[in-house]
Amino acid sequence: MRKRNFIMLVMVMTSIATQAQLKINFGGKSPTAKLKVAESAVSNLYVDTIDEEKLVEDAIRGMLKGLDPHSTYSTAEEVKAMNEPLQGNFEGIGVQFNIVEDTLVVMQPVINGPAEKVGIVAGDRIVTVNDTAIAGVKMSRTDIMKRLRGPKGTMVHLGIMRRGADGILSFDVKRDNIPLYTINAAYMIRPGVGYIRIESFGATTYREFMDKVRELKQQGMRDLLLDLQDNGGGYLQAAVDIAGEFLTGGDLIVYTEGRAVQRMEYKANGKGIMTSGKVVVLVNELTASAAEIVSGAVQDQDRGTIVGRRTFAKGLVQRPVEFNDGSMIRLTVAHYYTPSGRCIQKPYKKGDREEYALDFEKRLKHGELTNRDSIHFNDSLQYHTLRKHRTVYGGGGIMPDVFVPLDTLQYTAFHRKMAAKNIVINASLKYIDKERKSLKRAYDSFTKFERNYEVPKSLLDGIVAEADKQGVKPKDDEELGRTIDALRFQLKALVARDLWNINEYFRIFNEHSDIVKEGLKEMER
C-alpha cells in the first residue's frame, strides 16, 4: 500500500511539473512573453495565495529600479497627490490650517472660499467633521485632510470651537474648487526692483507670473529679482513660457533629445514683457528641473545674472505612461540641454539610487556648498554663453555667476535641535492663536507691523524653557545669544505669515537671506 501511494504521488508531482513546463515553453522566446509567463506561473502555481496586483506592481518597480533615479512607478493615489499641486486646484472647504496640541486651528480661510462664505474665521478650531471627532484623537494630518476634502458640491458638517463663544458652533460647508498658487511671494523689494518667488511650475504658474509682473510694473518695477530657490520644477511648458518673457523672438530656451525621441527645440515667441531691465535669478542646491531650464536660458542667452549655489542638476525628461487604474510610470525618455548645449543632468549610476540621493551630503562634505574654490569642472565640459561668450560648464546643474556660500553658522546646533522637535513652530502657533486679535488691533497694516513689531521676550523665554524641559540646552551663553538673534527674525516672519500670508513671511525673511542680499547688490552693479 505504501509503495503504491508513493508511486501515485510521484505521478501527480510529475504531472504538475509537466503542466508548468508546458506553460513556460508555450510562451515563446520574446522578453515580453517571458515576463507574461513568469507572472502567470507565479499567480497560478505558487504554493501560497498571492496579491496579483501587488505582484505586478513589484515587477514594474523591479524593472525601473535598474534604470535612472527619476524613472518611477506611482499608484493611483500617489499620482493624484503628485499632480494636485501642479494642476492649480483641489476640491475642499478652503482653509489653511495647522495642528496645535492635537487640534486643527484655522490659520487663514481662502478668500471667497467655501469656509469664509459661511463665516469660518482665522483662529477657529475644527473639532468634528460630520460628527466624527478629529480633535484630541491624534489623527494624522493626511486623515484630517481626507475628511475635509471631497467632490465639488458635496456638503460637510463641521463642529467648531471659537474663542469667546460658548459651546460648539455648527457650520455646513459646500465643497468647491480651491485654487492652489505656485507663486509664494511678489512685492516691490526695493524702489524700481520687483521680487517674485516661484515655488513650482504648474498649470497656472505662467498666468500667475504674468499677473504679478503686471501688478509690479504698475508699482514702478523696472528690474526683477526672480527667486527659484527650493523650486523642484514641474511642467516644462510653464518654464518655457516664463523664460520666453525675458528673451527676444527666436531665442532658444531649451532643447530635449533622447535615444528614441528626436531633438525638440523650444524658443521664445518674441512677445515677452520683460525683455528690458535687469534680471537676477536666485538659485540654490534644491533648484531643479524646470527651474534649471529658466536659469540656464537666462544665463546662456546673457539675459541676466544667476546668484546663489549650483543647482540640483535634474535634467532628465519623463514621459507619463498611464494605466487604466490611474497608476502611472514616469519613464525617462530624453535629456534637457541649455541653449549653449549643456546637459543639465548630473552623472549617475543606473540602479544606484542611494548614492544619487546622497549628492547633497557629498557636496557639503567636499565643501562645494560653502567654498567656491572647492568646485572643480572638467575642461571637456566647457561651454560658452551665446552673446558675451562667457565660460560656463556642463556636467550637472547651473553654476551661478555669483556664488553665495551656505552659512552653516546662521543657525546654531541648539536652534537646529529645537527645530527638529518643532519647539519653535509650536510656540509660534500657540502665540498667534492666543494673541491674534490684539495683534490685529495693534497692527492694522503689514507696513506698521514690519516697522514696529518686536518679538516679546516672554515668547523667547518660553521657547528656551520648553527646550530645557525636553532636554535641549545651549552649550554656552554665546550659543544662546546667537540663537535668540536668529529666533527674533524667524518668529517675526512666522507671525507675519499667520496674520497675513506667505507673501509677508518672505518680506521679513528675505531681509536676512544672504542670497537675496547678494542678488540686490548685483542689481546695483
Measured between alpha carbons, how far is 164 from 166 in angstroms, rounded to an integer?
7
Which one from 300, 359, 433, 498 is the annotated catalytic residue?
Answer: 300
Angle (CA) 397-400-401 rounded to 5° is 145
Measured between alpha carbons, how far is 474 from 464 in angstroms, rounded to an integer?
9
Query: Is 314 labeled as catalytic in the residue annotation?
Result: yes
Measured between alpha carbons, how far is 337 from 263 in angstroms, rounded to an integer?
10
Would you list the DSSP string of 116-156?
Answer: HHTT--TT-EEEEETTEE-SSS---HHHHHHHH---TT-EE
Measured between alpha carbons, how far is 334 from 259 in angstroms, rounded to an integer?
7
Identify the sign of the CA torsion 387, 393, 395, 396. Answer: negative
Output b/e per residue, 353-385; b: 16+ Cβ within 10 A. Answer: beeeeebeeebeeeebbeeeeebeeeeeeebeb
Which one from 212, 227, 241, 314 is the annotated catalytic residue?
Answer: 314
Residue 519 near residue 225, CB atoms below 8 Å: yes
Measured between alpha carbons, how far is 417 from 411 in angstroms, rounded to an integer?
10
Query: Is 289 labeled as catalytic in the residue annotation?
Result: yes
Which one from 200, 289, 340, 428 is the annotated catalytic residue?
Answer: 289
DSSP conformational letter for 346:
P
Residue 387, classed as helix, strand or coil, is coil
Q: Per the structure block, which three cell numbers stand in for 353?
A: 539610487
Query: Is 461 labeled as catalytic in the residue annotation?
Result: no
**Rounded to the nearest 5°, which phi and psi values hold at 217?**
-60, -35
Q: Annotated catalytic sites, by residue?
A: 289, 300, 314
